[in-house]
Structure 1
Amino acid sequence: MEITELSPDDEAGCIDAVAVQSAAFAQDCPELVRPTPRGFANLLRYGWDLEPQRGFLARNADGRAVAVATVSLPTYDNTNQVWFELTVHPDHRDGTDGTDGTVEAELIEYVEQLARDEGRTMMGFGGFDLPDAIALAHKHGYEQKAVEVNRRQDLAGLDWSIVRSLYDEAVAASTAYELVTLTGALPEDMLDGMIAVTASINDAPKDDLDIEDDVYSRERLRAYEEAQAKSDHTLYRVIAREKATGELAGHTVIAVERERPHIGEQHDTAVAREHRGHRLGALLKTAMLLHVRDAEPALTQVDTWNAESNNHMIGINEQLGYRIVARFLAYQKKL
């Protein structure tokens, strides 16, 4: 088996990688949002916030693409860690395409050696909550540390009277605050205030994961905006601001794909600790929905990801009609 690193400029390689992923998702989780070659290449170019992922494609002796690994090496924080996802084409699982073991085993060994070469000491691995994926993780010494759930909101079938009612209730409970709605980059005069608000995401449950808090700065916030824009995502933000002080209190962000404008992804929703207890989470999320309904008429679905233990945010999402698409298990292992 030959393993090669993919360049974002390798159009054929990115097409092959996405074909492997799409075939696997069709079997493992048919409702999961499929990747596209353009989107995959953008992950390799820009990542989430100009921290590009690395992609590795495995081909068998016939030159056929059989597996792909995507690898994240954090640089802003958690610089001891490597996180990866492994996808094997259903036709080549538990096979012997490699000379020294199965496809899965060779790719995991390859990624772990990459981590050692980069001086990293902690591996993180994410996979579907399915028997084969669980067995693979345990076989290679990974311990389950957290559960994440992908939920989806169907905007076409949403009862907007419920959204409006929840919004009105939240407005009544948060009279000390006002909302700011933005598209794209933050104004310069809001940037410093948004550092602490964005860092509030660190209060979300981490379960048993051995990870440090995310570290934010002006530069990182701008890197996030730049990466999303270059990946052809339109960012919509709703920010809560305390009227008396002008202090920023919370925010929510949805990114809409321009390649597939019916698809949106919920990015962060967070409220600063000192401003909690005023229904700001519900206010932000309902205000956002009412906004994107008008701003993005082609948008039909929004996906969100939460720790399964994040009961507060899940409660809001369920009130807004989100349903479960998939459960993912997060594993870690010390090298």
Structure 2
Amino acid sequence: MTEATIEQLRIPESLDGELAHDFLQAVEVSRQVRIHTWGNDKLAYTAEEFFAQCHDPYEWNVVLVARSGGDIVGRAGIVMPLDDNTELAHVTLDVLPSVSGMGLGRKLLEAAEMFVRGENRKIAMVETNHPAATLADAKSEPIPASQGTGTLPLSSREARFAYSAGYDLERVEQFSACALPLDPALVAELTEHAAATHKSSYAVHQWLDTCPEKWEQDFVRLERDLVDGKDGDAQEPWDVAQLRETEELSALTGRRTLVSAAENLETGALVGFTSISVLGNREDVAFQDDTVVELAHKGKDVGLLIKVANMEQLMREFPRAGTIFTWNAPENSYMLSVNAQLGYVSAGMTGQWRKDFNAL
């Protein structure tokens, strides 16, 4: 391989014409990496989805590419929030399997770190992916996450890469997949089980893409509680205006969102919700997003009730969906048990790694 060079990719104004060639080639590199990692391209962005992401008004997306002999063989995607957490930068590395092991990943990471530090970002986050098969025989010393109970083995090539680059393992999440459609008998059984536990104290309300005005204040309150609880970081207040802006942005990208929420019939307030997203240009794959239930209503299978209902909504609205993916903290035993009842199977782990430049 000729000596690779690193350069910033110009984001085209459209996906048509010669100016989009390099952008499409970078998207294809990412797709090939995910095929190599997971055995399929179900977790790969389509060109349309990635193009929309690059024009998100709430974050600045920069792409660095490694070029060899005129061809793009690797890329570093940099996402920098523009609203909250403006000290952060998220870096995604993709290097073609055919040139793996030649130092391109390290070279791309160093270039990405130089870029984000130049933009006065204090913290870089890097994600590593670990299929279940690669962890089955891991025997080396485990690296414990600073948050939660997860670990990753130092024998993992990806973990060793991040660790040797000076990153600390912040958290680990279990990555799971569920085949669709669900057996109607299973859906009925789980719904009945949840109803028996909570004694019909809740009603389920559903919507697609747009939260009904009746529920917007409750939904925002639940979203705010969810966001405030993540990582213990202070967040800007989440309000109805931001909710509507987010919904409009999703509509522009073509992403669809399905929500099922639980109303406490005694108070008339929403006490929990769960959401699923479907990519605008790929209806065969869905993603389980956030699930939140207020503390006072936990232990009553409210989470099971709304997750089963939302899976039914997904199968009804998007019958082509053949797989749904989700990520959960290993210590979240209740949600993992709910997912197991629904038919989710562990596919691997993902690691979130953090480097604080102030500490260097």
Cα deviation code 1:253-272 (max 9, x no counterpart)? 11223422221111111112
Aligned amino acid, residue 197 of structure 1: L
**In the aligned structure 2, how far is the partner of 1:213 from the partner of 1:283?**
31
Question: Is the CA contact (8 Å cut-off) linking 2:176 and 2:347 kept in structure 1?
Answer: yes
**In the aligned structure 2, how far is the partner of 1:223 from the partner of 1:6?**
27
2:111 is aligned with 1:105: no
The aligned runs of 1:153-164 (5 Å cut-off) are 153-156=178-181, 158-164=182-188
Counterpart for residue 35 of structure 2 = 26
Q: 1:282 to 1:61 in 2, by over 3 A?
A: closer
Counterpart for residue 99 of structure 1 = none
2:95 is aligned with 1:74: no
Counterpart for residue 196 of structure 1 = 221
Question: Is the CA contact (8 Å cut-off) linking 1:43 and 1:53 kept in structure 2?
Answer: no
Cα deviation code 1:195-218 (max 9, x no counterpart)? 2211343587x6xxx661555332
Higher mean C-alpha deviation, range 67-76 or range 85-94: 67-76
Aligned amino acid, residue 6 of structure 2: E
**In the aligned structure 2, how far is the partner of 1:296 from the partner of 1:36?**
18
Question: Is the CA contact (8 Å cut-off) linking 1:77 and 1:212 kept in structure 2?
Answer: no
Question: Is the CA contact (8 Å cut-off) linking 1:57 and 1:65 kept in structure 2?
Answer: no
The aligned runs of 1:174-213 (5 Å cut-off) are 174=198, 175-202=200-227, 212=233
Q: 1:148 to 1:196 in 2, by over 3 A?
A: same
| Residue number among 3, 8, 19 corresponding to 1:4 in the alignment | 8
| Residue number among 117, 138, 147 corresponding to 2:172 in the alignment | 147
Cα deviation code 1:293-325 (max 9, x no counterpart)? 222222221111212222211110011001122
**In the aligned structure 1, how far is the partner of 2:253 from the partner of 2:175?**
22
Counterpart for residue 125 of structure 2 = 124
Q: How much is the aligned-residue C-alpha RMSD, in angstroms?
A: 2.2
Q: 1:36 to 1:162 in 2, by over 3 A?
A: same
Q: 1:36 to 1:317 in 2, by over 3 A?
A: same
Q: 1:20 to 1:194 in 2, by over 3 A?
A: same
Q: SS at the partner of 1:56?
A: strand
2:158 is aligned with 1:133: yes
Q: Figure out how many residues of one structure are paired with residues of the other and give that number.
A: 321
**In the aligned structure 2, how far is the partner of 1:222 from the partner of 1:323?**
34
5+ residue gaps, structure 2, are 14-18, 135-155
Offset of residue 117 of structure 1: 2.2
Question: Is the CA contact (8 Å cut-off) linking 1:144 and 1:331 kept in structure 2?
Answer: yes
Question: Is the CA contact (8 Å cut-off) linking 2:286 and 2:321 kept in structure 1?
Answer: yes
**In the aligned structure 1, how far is the partner of 2:273 from the partner of 2:10?**
35
Counterpart for residue 330 of structure 1 = 352
Counterpart for residue 98 of structure 1 = none
2:97 is aligned with 1:90: yes
Higher mean C-alpha deviation, range 314-323 or range 161-170: 161-170
| Residue number among 281, 285, 309 corresponding to 2:331 in the alignment | 309
Q: 1:60 to 1:262 in 2, by over 3 A?
A: closer
2:35 is aligned with 1:13: no
Q: 1:53 to 1:323 in 2, by over 3 A?
A: farther
Q: SS at the partner of 2:274?
A: strand
Higher relative contact order (CA 8 A, sep 6+): 1
**In the aligned structure 2, how far is the partner of 1:73 from the partner of 1:307?**
24
2:73 is aligned with 1:63: no
Using the size of structure 1 for normalisation, the TM-score is: 0.88
Aligned amino acid, residue 226 of structure 2: I
Question: Is the CA contact (8 Å cut-off) linking 1:200 and 1:273 kept in structure 2?
Answer: no
Offset of residue 52 of structure 1: 3.6
**In the aligned structure 2, how far is the partner of 1:250 from the partner of 1:11?**
43
Question: Is the CA contact (8 Å cut-off) linking 1:80 and 1:122 kept in structure 2?
Answer: yes
Higher mean C-alpha deviation, range 146-155 or range 192-201: 192-201
**In the aligned structure 2, how far is the partner of 1:35 from the partner of 1:326?**
19
Q: 1:186 to 1:14 in 2, by over 3 A?
A: same
Using the size of structure 2 for normalisation, the TM-score is: 0.82
Identical aligned residues as a percent? 24
The aligned runs of 1:226-265 (5 Å cut-off) are 226-265=248-287
